[in-house]
């Protein structure tokens, strides 16, 4: 049984090599290389063109290349019986924690201001905030967010996490859940880190109402998906001086269009969806494991709930 690999990106050679190393003998093909479309039961996807899977009548499972599966679930042509699985990888979590730390440390030690001053040869000191004085709220404490919150707490920050369901595990950081506890959680977030999955309940969650509940001069770090943020509400909140700025790694449209107001906004930092990149060598074994499980009729790993959207 061949596996197909579909992505909007063009260079998949690192992926194909890693999959072939992890599963010698398994045929890995691009969709247009497959003659017998009915032979395909397993696909690997990142931002596939919607509707492409209609060509494969016996498909049983689609695996995401990454942690998020929103790009698969948003395709209305994928029948309900198809299982969707995703990546859970310690490197995705540790890379994300390093990125989050970098952004927060750079902000509290005023690095963007000093980089700006260097452009014009300005020698001016600015007050900084200490780690122990800084309150961070992590929205979404799943596989990645929980690790990020734990590392931030260990580093000395005051950390709170917010999730959909109540957590019963011993708290290394303060834990909140559900809409009712959202205002209290937000009120303690000088930095708000969004690590939610994109679902019908979380789309547009970072809107004016939510931003207004943050402490004055809070800073938003969006590492989840661009569509979590209502762009006009964020710009309005920054321009009113309530939110001090934002670091955005993910956008509604990627690449971010050249004319987008974020590019020229002095209080908005931009990175091109690089907070945590899936490492093909690290994750190929789990993709092959799911492929084997499918062949053997066993339960798949890391499944996504079609109902919850994550």
With respect to ligand GLV, which residue has the nearer C-beta, 197 or 243? 197
Site for ligand GLV in 47-106 (CB under 6 A): 66-68
Catalytic residue among 242, 265, 273, 306: 273
Structure tokens at 71: 């790009």
CA–CA separation, 145 and 142 (whole Å): 5
N-terminal to C-terminal alpha carbon distance within the chain: 28
Has 240 been annotated as catalytic? no
Q: Is 55 helix (H, G, I), strand (E, B) or coil?
A: helix
Using CB under 6 A, which residues numbered 264 to 283 contact ligand NAP?
A: 273, 275-276
Q: Which stretch binds ligand NAP (CB under 6 A): 13-21, 74-82, 122-130, 141-149?
A: 141-149
Beta carbon of residue 196, minimum distance to ligand GLV (angstroms, whole number)? 11
Q: Which is nearer to ligand GLV, 65 or 219 (CB)?
A: 65
Q: How far is the CB of 273 from ligand GLV (least distance, A)?
A: 6
Kindly state the smallest distance separating residue 223's Cβ from ligand NAP, in Å: 4
What is the footprint of ligand NAP within residues 173-192 (CB under 6 A)? none
**CA–CA gap between residue 277 and residue 292 (Å, rounded):** 25
Contact criterion met (CB below 8 Å) for 248 and 262: yes
Identify the DSSP state of 206: B
Q: Which of 92, 108, 149, 294 binds ligand NAP (CB under 6 A)?
A: 92
The residue nearest ligand NAP at its CB is 142
From candidates 63, 107, 158, 202, binder to ligand NAP by CB under 6 A? 202
List the catalytic residue out of 225, 228, 242, 293: 225
Nearer to ligand GLV, 68 or 280 (CB): 68
**278/282 with CB nearer ligand GLV:** 278
CB of 131 to ligand NAP, least distance (A): 23
With CA atoms as reference, report the closest residue to 73 among 303, 254, 306, 251: 306
| Bridge partners for 219 per DSSP | 191, 245
226 near ligand GLV (CB under 6 A) = no
User: How far apart, in Å, are the Cα atoms of 189 and each of 41, 47, 59, 161, 301?
Assistant: 45, 32, 44, 10, 34
What is the chain's length?
310
Q: Which helix (H) or strand (E) holds 92?
A: helix 90-108
Q: Which is nearer to ligand GLV, 41 or 228 (CB)?
A: 228
Q: Pairing mode, if any, of strands 174-177 and 28-29?
A: unpaired
Q: What is the dihedral of CA 99, 103, 109, 114, to 10 degrees?
A: 110
Q: Catalytic: 81?
A: no
**What is the token pair recorded at 292?**
């084997």
Q: Does 201 bind ligand NAP (CB under 6 A)?
A: yes
Q: Is 278 a residue that touches ligand GLV (CB under 6 A)?
A: yes
Peptide bond into 255 cis (omega under 30): yes
> What are the residues binding ligand NAP (CB under 6 A)?
66-68, 92, 140-145, 163-165, 195-199, 201-202, 223-225, 249-250, 273, 275-276, 310
Q: Report, as residue numbers or ranges, the catalytic residues.
A: 225, 273
> What are the residues binding ligand GLV (CB under 6 A)?
66-68, 278
């Amino acid at each position: 049984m061949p596996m197909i690999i579909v992505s909007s990106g063009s260079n998949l050679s690192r992926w194909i090599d890693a999959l072939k190393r992890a599963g010698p003998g398994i045929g890995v093909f691009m969709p247009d290389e497959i003659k017998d479309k009915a032979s395909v039961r397993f696909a690997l996807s990142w931002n596939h063109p919607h509707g492409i899977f209609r060509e494969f009548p016996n498909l049983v499972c689609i695996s995401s290349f990454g942690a998020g599966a929103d790009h698969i679930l948003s395709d209305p042509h994928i029948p309900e019986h198809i299982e969707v699985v995703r990546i859970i990888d310690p490197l995705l979590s540790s890379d994300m924690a390093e990125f989050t730390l970098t952004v927060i440390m750079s902000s509290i030690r005023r690095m963007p201001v000093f980089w700006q001053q260097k452009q014009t040869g300005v020698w001016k000191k600015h007050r900084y905030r200490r780690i122990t004085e800084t309150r961070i709220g992590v929205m979404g404490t799943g596989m990645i967010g929980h690790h990020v919150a734990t590392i931030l707490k260990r580093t000395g920050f005051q950390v709170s996490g917010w999730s959909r369901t109540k957590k019963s595990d011993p708290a290394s950081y303060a834990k909140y859940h559900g809409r009712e506890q959202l205002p209290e959680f937000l009120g303690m977030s000088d930095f708000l880190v969004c690590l939610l999955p994109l679902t019908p309940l979380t789309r547009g969650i970072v809107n004016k109402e939510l931003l207004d509940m943050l402490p004055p001069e809070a800073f938003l770090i969006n590492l989840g998906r661009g569509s979590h943020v209502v762009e006009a509400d964020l710009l309005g909140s920054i321009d009113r001086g309530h939110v001090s700025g934002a670091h955005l790694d993910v956008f509604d449209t990627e690449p971010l269009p050249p004319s987008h107001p974020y590019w020229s906004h002095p209080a908005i930092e931009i990175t091109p969806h690089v907070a945590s990149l899936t490492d093909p060598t690290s994750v190929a074994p789990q993709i092959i494991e799911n492929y084997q499980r499918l062949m053997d009729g066993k339960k798949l790993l890391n499944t996504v709930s079609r109902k919850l959207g994550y």
